[in-house]
Amino acid sequence: MTLRTTLDFLLHDWLDTTGLTSRERFADHNRETIDAVLDTCERIAREKYAPFNRLVDTQEPHFDGEKVTLPKATHDAFKAYAESGMLSAAQDYDIGGMQLPYSVEAAANAFFACASVSIGSSLLSVGNANLLMAHGTELQKQVFAHNEFSGRWAGTMCLSEPQAGSSLSDVATRAVPDGEGFESDPLGARYRLRGNKMWISSGEHELTENIVHLVLAKIPDADGKLIPGTRGISLFIVPKKMVNAQGELTGVRNDVALAGLNHKLGWRGTTNTLLNFGEGKFPVDGQAGAVGYLVGQPGKGLACMFHMMNEARIGVGIAATMLGMAGYYASLDYAKGRPQGRPITGAGKDAAAPQTRIIEHADVKRMLLTQKAYCEGALALELYCARLIDEQHTGTAQDAEEARLLLEVLTPIAKSWPSEWCLEANSLAIQVHGGYGYTRDFPVEQYWRDNRLNMIHEGTHGIQAMDLLGRKVLMEEGKGLTLLSHRIMATVNRCNGIPVLAPHAKALARALQDVGVATQKAWSTGVPGEALANAVPYMQAFGHTVLAWIWLDVAGCALDNDPQQESLETQGHVGCAKFFFHYELPKINAWLGVVQSRDLTCATFPEGAF
Ligand SMILES: Cc1cc2nc3c(=O)[nH]c(=O)nc-3n(C[C@H](O)[C@H](O)[C@H](O)COP(=O)(O)OP(=O)(O)OC[C@H]3O[C@@H](n4cnc5c(N)ncnc54)[C@H](O)[C@@H]3O)c2cc1C
């Protein structure tokens, strides 16, 4: 199946995306307009992204001390993307948007991630602008967000610092009021920032006229001390170049300097930067300190950032998924053409017989089916979550509330599951290629390198797991987990009546029960150190159970449309579900074993014994 066939099935047959067009906000859309968006993105990705994926990997961004140079292909791709209108796809018509459902936007962006994740599709700029639309003043929206949606300016997220990665409460960038009348600046209360931000993606480039940095910093108290913890964190807009209230560049450079580029394992088409704020390299009004405009209330900066975390994490999940998918397609293609070995027959191997193609070996099929099950399952999960975001924005009050609760528990999975398992898919894609997969003559090693990032950024794997077990499954008296269980049981009950799926339905009901028991046992002593010592195995088991549910539901839908499994597409969906239940779901027992016994082997291992 092609990516388009898979997307069409998931969006229209499974999620009934066209059904959204009966809602007022999406009333101008229909199957044709949705298809037109997918067609356009598929074409731009094919023409402007895919052919240059290797080039942007080998021609890394270059900094000559003044400017960062990116390949021309990156400029062309960015221009084509901005001209397609995708930067403002979900926005209102009156600011130039298309009022497209988020699920369609996410599906359309999948083409770019598959073609060249490294060139990128400006998800950071869109996330940055969306945050300002939710928390900025009218003028901040007009001046900064609107110019990002048009592609005139780009955006960043500046959270991390060299000493503060997972632990953002240790952010040390300081923001002090910028003199008399600092509160009356039309662009927002004006501060001067000083500090270093590490790992900032797209922190410097010449793709756009200006860059809008969104920066977390702390405002010192009256004694000049920073408030410990996250309570003290505020959010600021820090433009690379100063602008006036009309959104025009003033010709003054803000005091933000590129200290250097990070040289990465993968994802090399995007710059990654260490930025120095306020060191005095570009003084403004003769004074060191980067000028920043407060967004929202002081001390509430992290809450504003979290506003956009669900979408950002679905974006990471889709990137991981599509890298896995790109490797799957490449290795499938390779396996169909590579002759090697002979079939095992009843009489053993006949050395004089012609070689078979490797796709005929059971073990190669196992590797291909694993990739297909991981990647198509992950794509279904991401689109399901994207659809929940549409429910949250445009559903009835009850549907919106349910979507919110489900997103609380599913977002750590949407981010982490593809990051781990679609990376494993990339490893299998290399394996299918044998020695050739280990060379740079084939694309699969790059997919693996690019994908390796996803378990690290937007909350590491370990941090996501602690968020899931330590917070999300417990919050609001476990309402999110209960609701998810109801949804899973609805699928179980439906599929119990479909003979080919009934054994899987039973296995899923058991798995769900096991996850529930393990959740309780992990917390039975109430000691966080014991419960969370095995948070990652818990997240793996939880994630595999969610994916088993997704596969069962997808297979049920495919069989509703084609009960006799006449099409290969249906056979693919039902076969993947079978694979997942036979080869993957049973793994949860080992993971849940250490969770429910609160096994402290790792936690208590003496440091000196390593
Ligand atoms: C290519 C790339 C792009 C990035 N882009 C951006 C960006 O645009 N903006 C931005 O702000 N940041 C960005 N980041 C930063 C990224 O979010 C951080 O790297 C990440 O949050 C981890 O922080 P750290 O690197 O300091 O690792 P650390 O926090 O030091 O973590 C190291 C290891 O320790 C574990 N660990 C840490 N604390 C705990 C704990 N309490 N309990 C258990 N385990 C723990 C982690 O899980 C991890 O395995 C990017 C990073 C990379 C590599």
Atom of ligand 1 nearest to the CA of 462: 47
Q: Which residues contact 67 (CB under 8 A, 6 or more apart)?
A: 206
295 forms bridges with which residues in the sheet?
235
pLDDT at 28: 97
Residue 98: is it exposed, middle or buried by C-beta count within 10 angstroms (0-12/13-18/19+)?
buried
Atom of ligand 1 nearest to the CA of 460: 47
pLDDT, tens only, 507-555: 999 999 999 999 999 999 999 999 999 999 999 999 999 999 999 999 9
| Best residue among 171, 274, 323, 460 to mutate for probing ligand 1, ranked by most atoms within 8 Å of CB | 460
Among the listed residues 271, 288, 291, 270, the one whose alpha carbon sits nearest the alpha carbon of residue 279 = 288
Parallel, antiparallel or unpaired: strands 190-201 and 210-218? unpaired
Active-site residue, from 279, 420, 445, 458: 458
**Which residue's CA is the closest to the ligand 1 atom numbered 2?**
199
**Beta carbons of 128 and 157 less than 8 angstroms apart:** yes
Residues 241, 243, 247: CA angle, nearest 5 degrees:
130
pLDDT, tens only, 197-214: 999 999 999 999 999 999
pLDDT at 337: 98
413-427: average pLDDT: 98
pLDDT at 326: 98
Mean pLDDT over the full length of the chain: 96
Residue 261: is it exposed, middle or buried by C-beta count within 10 angstroms (0-12/13-18/19+)?
middle
pLDDT at 120: 85
For ligand 1, the distance from its centroid to the CA atom of residue 329, given in whole angstroms, is 30
For ligand 1, the distance from its centroid to the CA atom of residue 83, given in whole angstroms, is 34
Dist CA 247 CA 252 (whole Å): 13
pLDDT, tens only, 172-198: 999 999 999 999 999 999 999 999 999
Binned at pLDDT 50, 70 and 90, residue 250 comes out as: very high
Binned at pLDDT 50, 70 and 90, residue 309 comes out as: confident
Assess whether pLDDT exceeds 90 at residue 280. yes
Dist CA 446 CA 554 (whole Å): 30
CB of 230 sitting under 6 A from ligand 1 = no
pLDDT at 349: 75
What percentage of the chain carries pLDDT values higher than 70?
100
Dist CA 55 CA 58 (whole Å): 5
pLDDT at 386: 96
35-59: average pLDDT: 98
Dist CA 506 CA 501 (whole Å): 9
Specify the 3-state DSSP secondary structure of 342.
coil
Q: Tokens representing 16?
A: 């009934």
Assess whether pLDDT exceeds 80 at residue 310. no
Assess whether pLDDT exceeds 90 at residue 344. no
Assess whether pLDDT exceeds 90 at residue 10. yes
For ligand 1, the distance from its centroid to the CA atom of residue 165, given in whole angstroms, is 4
**Which residue's CA is the closest to the ligand 1 atom numbered 12?**
160
Assess whether pLDDT exceeds 80 at residue 348. no
CB of 165 sitting under 6 A from ligand 1 = yes
What percentage of the chain carries pLDDT values higher than 90?
95
**Which residue's CA is the closest to the ligand 1 atom numbered 37?**
166
pLDDT at 488: 98
Dist CA 487 CA 195 (whole Å): 46
Assess whether pLDDT exceeds 80 at residue 121. no
CB of 158 sitting under 6 A from ligand 1 = yes
Q: Which residues contact 113 (CB under 8 A, 6 or more apart)?
A: 121, 318, 319, 321, 322, 323
Assess whether pLDDT exceeds 90 at residue 306. no
Atom of ligand 1 nearest to the CA of 166: 29
CB of 463 sitting under 6 A from ligand 1 = yes
Q: Tokens representing 277?
A: 């704020």
Among the listed residues 215, 90, 203, the one whose alpha carbon sits nearest the alpha carbon of residue 154 = 203
Q: Tokens representing 551?
A: 């596969």
pLDDT at 399: 97
Identity of the residue numbered 199: W
| Best residue among 456, 458, 461 to mutate for probing ligand 1, ranked by most atoms within 8 Å of CB | 456
**Beta carbons of 417 and 381 less than 8 angstroms apart:** yes
Q: Tokens representing 386?
A: 């994207």
Assess whether pLDDT exceeds 90 at residue 343. no
Among the listed residues 380, 314, 487, the one whose alpha carbon sits nearest the alpha carbon of residue 11 = 380
pLDDT at 512: 98
**Beta carbons of 61 and 70 less than 8 angstroms apart:** yes
pTM for this entry: 0.97
Q: Known catalytic residue: 458?
A: yes
